[in-house]
Amino acid sequence: MKKLLAIVMLCISVQAGALELDGVKFEDKVQLGNAPLVLNGAGIRSAVFWDVYAAGLYLGEKKNTAAAVFADSGAKRLALYVMKENDTKHFLDSLRKGIAKNYDEQQAAAFNARLEALGQLFAGIDKLNKADLIDFDWLPAEGLRVSLNGKELGKIEGADFYQALLAIWIGDKPAKDKLKRELLGA
């Protein structure tokens, strides 16, 4: 009986360590530099008939409103797992449009140089393949760090720009309302 109980507890503890969505596994905790982060929430971005990517938001501690996430100046990670092959230019255009949806024309224009810098980080990468992982990390001392499959592509300064990226998913006009709710732990 003790052996059975031990096996059941082991299974529960293994399952408690990660969230799996449609074959994409999000760890419960990650380490970003010196900052331990917890999975705040995760969901899938679908378009028409297919799943485009799975997104997970990691924070220092759980928050259930966008305002609380934006107010948090600590380390953060937005992890995107590609679920459908996508042209990199199309992906970057989608980011630009997502920012434009959440900011007026003048505010969005203030991000143009950094959007161009983001595009340069992906220079030479023609497409995003299924199972690619893009991490948008915010490190207060370093700025935005962008990685593809664990390899750092580069950094871009500005907490305002990181918040503009987050607004794509948790802003007033998110990519999908359901995904926003999921990222905020609903």
CA distances from 147 to 42, 77, 113, 134 (A): 19, 11, 19, 6
Q: What is the pLDDT of residue 4?
A: 35
Q: If you ran DSSP here, which 8-state letter would residue 150 be given? A: T
Q: What is the pLDDT of residue 116?
A: 97
pLDDT, one tens digit per residue, over 89-115 is: 999 999 999 999 999 999 999 999 999
Higher pLDDT, 50 or 5: 50
Task: Name the phi and psi angles at 136, rounded to 5.
Answer: -105, 100
pLDDT, one tens digit per residue, over 49-87 is: 788 899 999 999 999 999 999 999 999 999 999 999 999
Domains of the chain, by residue range, sit at 2-183
- Six-digit token string for 136: 């948008």
pLDDT bin (cut points 50, 70, 90) of residue 17 is low
pLDDT bin (cut points 50, 70, 90) of residue 15 is very low
The model carries a pTM of 0.87
Q: Compute the distance between CA of residue 72 and CA of residue 169 in angstroms, rounded to an integer.
A: 16
pLDDT, one tens digit per residue, over 132-158 is: 999 999 999 999 999 999 999 999 999
Q: Compute the distance between CA of residue 80 and CA of residue 131 in angstroms, rounded to an integer.
A: 10
**CATH of range 2-183; options 3.50.70.10, 3.40.47.10, 3.40.1180.10, 3.30.1330.10:** 3.50.70.10
43 touches 61 (CB < 8 A): no
Q: What is the pLDDT of residue 14?
A: 40
Q: Compute the distance between CA of residue 78 and CA of residue 146 in angstroms, rounded to an integer.
A: 10
Contacts of 86 (CB under 8 A, 6+ apart): 52, 127, 128
- 3-class secondary-structure state, position 129: coil
